[in-house]
């Protein structure tokens, strides 16, 4: 029996990386990061409810440079995922499928960095 002559799916290595493709991948990664980051925020709230010893431990973790780095990444993930969700919402309304999809991808990336910088420079 002969193999059917079907088109083969292209391999990932021949795809041209575009901002829309990268933003789709990063949106999934930030969703996962938010899952684990929210667990840390829940730990902080639980420690505050448990008592001074537990809260001091959580505070010392988040005041350490590594804890601050995690919070910075959590903040960026939150903004990036939110802006990516808004981008998808625009697409769900049937808009933004033309050349503006590239601009929306870059605005998602730049907006998330800008909003994170505003929070960390002016609010924390």
* pLDDT tens per residue across span 30-66: 999 999 999 999 999 999 999 999 999 999 999 999 9
pTM for the full model?
A: 0.84
Tokens (6 digits) for 58: 């959580």
- Is residue 62 within 8 A of residue 55, CB to CB? The reply is no
Q: CA–CA separation, 113 vs 107, rounded Å?
A: 10
CA distances from 91 to 19, 41, 88, 97, 109 (A): 16, 31, 5, 7, 17
Q: Is 17 helix (H, G, I), strand (E, B) or coil?
A: coil
- Is residue 73 within 8 A of residue 113, CB to CB? The reply is no
Name the DSSP class of 93: T
- Is residue 27 within 8 A of residue 81, CB to CB? The reply is yes
pLDDT at residue 14, as a whole number: 73
């Amino acid at each position: 029996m002969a193999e059917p002559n079907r088109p083969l799916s292209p391999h990932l290595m021949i795809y041209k990386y575009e901002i829309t493709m990268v933003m789709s991948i990063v949106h999934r990664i930030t969703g996962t990061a938010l899952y684990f980051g929210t667990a840390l925020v829940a730990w902080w709230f639980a420690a505050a409810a448990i008592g001074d010893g537990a809260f001091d431990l959580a505070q010392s973790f988040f005041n350490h440079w590594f804890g601050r780095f995690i919070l910075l990444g959590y903040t960026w993930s939150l903004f990036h995922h939110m802006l990516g969700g808004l981008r998808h919402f625009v697409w769900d309304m049937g808009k933004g499928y033309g050349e503006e999809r590239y601009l929306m991808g870059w605005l998602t990336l730049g907006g998330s960095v800008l909003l994170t910088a505003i929070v960390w420079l002016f609010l924390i």
